[in-house]
Amino acid sequence: MVKALQAVRGMNDVLPDKIGYWQYVENIIRQVTLAYDYAEIRLPIVESTDLFRRSVGEVTDIVEKEMYTFDDRNGDSLTLRPEGTAVCARAGIQHGLLYNQIRRLWYMGPMFRHERPQKGRYRQFYQLGVEAFGMAGAQIDVELIAMNARLWQQLGLQDKLTLQINTLGSTQERAQYRDALRDYYSAHHAALDADSQRRLDSNPLRILDSKNPEMQALNAGAPKLLDYLGAESQAHFKQVQGLLTALDIAYEVNPRLVRGLDYYCHMVFEWVTQELGAQGTVSAGGRYDGLVEQLGGKATPACGFAVGIERIVALLQKQVANTNVLQAPHAYMVTFGDAAQQAGLALAEQLRHALPALSLRVDCSGGSFKNQLKRADKSGAQWVLIIGDDEVAQQAVALKFLRDEKPQQVLKQSELASQLQQLM
């Protein structure tokens, strides 16, 4: 036998026994985005490498060490998208969706980062991204957070997640803060890890975002950005907090929250859980007023967030029994003999025509009656539809109830659709 091939490390198959969770999440995402009138946009998975260099930032984990970058056959440098915001902004600019306009968009799909695979951290993972363009005030920041909170509520996860917010201030305020951080860390140069030493000159804010536990004590003593904010930034942040309170959305201000991408400014937020170990951030976002201009569009205020779908699924798996989200057919058809196989397929087509909402599986394996019935039971179906030679001769079908104590019935084939409709 030839050796079977394996998936690429960190890239997962979602198998049918788990797909119910994914579809459940996807359906709720559709409901919730619709409730706020956000439009879906579908974006390519591959983009030119420059897009991410210019948006995410040269001195970030993503661009420095996580991107899947390759030259295509023309020698162009392409990258599997590591995140969606830059892609969405690129598409918005390219198609004139953003110019002097207000846009509310969402998308869902795979992202790619060459990270060390571990629980909750993969090399291909799925995100829901939600982006709002053209609105500068705190109102839209809070609409996004409220939408995110509604997502948790609809998924039944509201008790598992807490909201942390922070502000990064304006570009100028951040520049002043950067100098203060550089002074602070320079004074503790020996205590910095290799990554942080490298970042000291180029981007000391990134040091605050370090995942290295040995950096935590040092980071805790660092100057706080909140102390460097001007009146306007403070007012925006106050407004965000006032609106959150008015909507009864609990939050915590976390001054260490800086986010791993360069384009953020002013309000940033994360939803975190205690239930997933080290990979506790389930959703993250904030304002990115500079990005559209940075990518060649007209200056456009914008904000958004991204949710890690695997981490939601992991939370759901802990609390929703699989049977609640697993899809089972309503009915399972069993046929016995050549004539019955033909009659069964034809009847199944009639039923699907008459009852578009019916889920019906036909046992096409041609096994013994006993084995077909066993499979019917295993499928989770409510009813078995049985056709043998007798039924063919009488244009009948036997209806057996697998989950109720009702006796088996024999019906005319022509009556079955209306009978099933009453049962559904």
From the CB of 109, what's the least distance to ligand ATP, in Å?
12
Residue in 18, 121, 361, 400 binding ligand ATP, rule: CB under 6 A = 121
d(C-alpha 75, C-alpha 357), whole Å? 50
| Rg of the chain (C-alpha set) | 28
Say whether 204 sits in a helix, a strand or coil: coil
From the CB of 286, what's the least distance to ligand ATP, in Å?
9
d(C-alpha 112, C-alpha 189), whole Å? 33
291 Cα distance to chain centroid: 22
d(C-alpha 264, C-alpha 303), whole Å? 9
From the CB of 276, what's the least distance to ligand ATP, in Å?
9
From the CB of 162, what's the least distance to ligand ATP, in Å?
14
Question: Looking at beta carbons only, is 143 or 310 nearer to ligand ATP?
Answer: 310
Tell me the per-residue interface mask from 276 to 305 with ligand ATP, x by CB under 6 A, - otherwise. ---x-xxxx---------------------
d(C-alpha 191, C-alpha 197), whole Å? 9
Whether the CB-CB separation of 204 and 185 falls below 8 Å is answered with yes
From the CB of 414, what's the least distance to ligand ATP, in Å?
53
Residue in 134, 286, 297, 308 binding ligand ATP, rule: CB under 6 A = 308
Residue showing the smallest CB distance to ligand ATP in the complex = 308
Q: Is 26 left (phi over 0), alpha (psi -120 to 50) or beta?
A: alpha
Residue in 22, 53, 78, 115 binding ligand ATP, rule: CB under 6 A = 115
Stretch near ligand ATP under the rule CB under 6 A, chosen from 23-31, 119-127, 249-257, 345-353: 119-127
Binding of residue 125 to ligand ATP (CB under 6 A): yes
The candidate with the shortest Cα–Cα distance to 126, out of 318, 282, 315, 358, is: 282
From the CB of 183, what's the least distance to ligand ATP, in Å?
26
From the CB of 83, what's the least distance to ligand ATP, in Å?
5
d(C-alpha 336, C-alpha 340), whole Å? 6
Binding of residue 140 to ligand ATP (CB under 6 A): no
Residue in 24, 52, 107, 122 binding ligand ATP, rule: CB under 6 A = 122
From the CB of 159, what's the least distance to ligand ATP, in Å?
18
Binding of residue 237 to ligand ATP (CB under 6 A): no
From the CB of 144, what's the least distance to ligand ATP, in Å?
14
d(C-alpha 76, C-alpha 295), whole Å? 19
Stretch near ligand ATP under the rule CB under 6 A, chosen from 102-110, 118-126, 383-391, 392-400: 118-126
Stretch near ligand ATP under the rule CB under 6 A, chosen from 97-105, 115-123, 217-225, 240-248: 115-123
Question: Looking at beta carbons only, is 19 or 326 nearer to ligand ATP?
Answer: 19
From the CB of 53, what's the least distance to ligand ATP, in Å?
16
Question: Looking at beta carbons only, is 125 or 133 nearer to ligand ATP?
Answer: 125
The candidate with the shortest Cα–Cα distance to 250, out of 166, 145, 167, 154, is: 145
Residue in 21, 41, 54, 83 binding ligand ATP, rule: CB under 6 A = 83
From the CB of 279, what's the least distance to ligand ATP, in Å?
6
Name the one residue in this structure whose structure tokens are 């290295």: 212
d(C-alpha 142, C-alpha 271), whole Å? 14
DSSP calls for 125-167:
EEEEEEEEES--SHHHHHHHHHHHHHHHHHHT-TTT-EEEEEE
Question: In sequence order, which residues have a C-beta less than 8 Å from that of residue 338 and are 6 or more positions away?
Answer: none
What number of chain residues touch ligand ATP (CB under 6 A)?
17
Tell me the per-residue interface mask from 248 to 277 with ligand ATP, x by CB under 6 A, - otherwise. ------------x-----------------
Burial class (CB within 10 angstroms; exposed 0-12, middle 13-18, buried 19+) of 216: exposed
d(C-alpha 289, C-alpha 89), whole Å? 11
Burial class (CB within 10 angstroms; exposed 0-12, middle 13-18, buried 19+) of 2: exposed
Contact residues for ligand ATP, defined by CB under 6 A: 83, 113, 115, 121-122, 125, 127, 260, 279, 281-284, 306, 308, 310-311
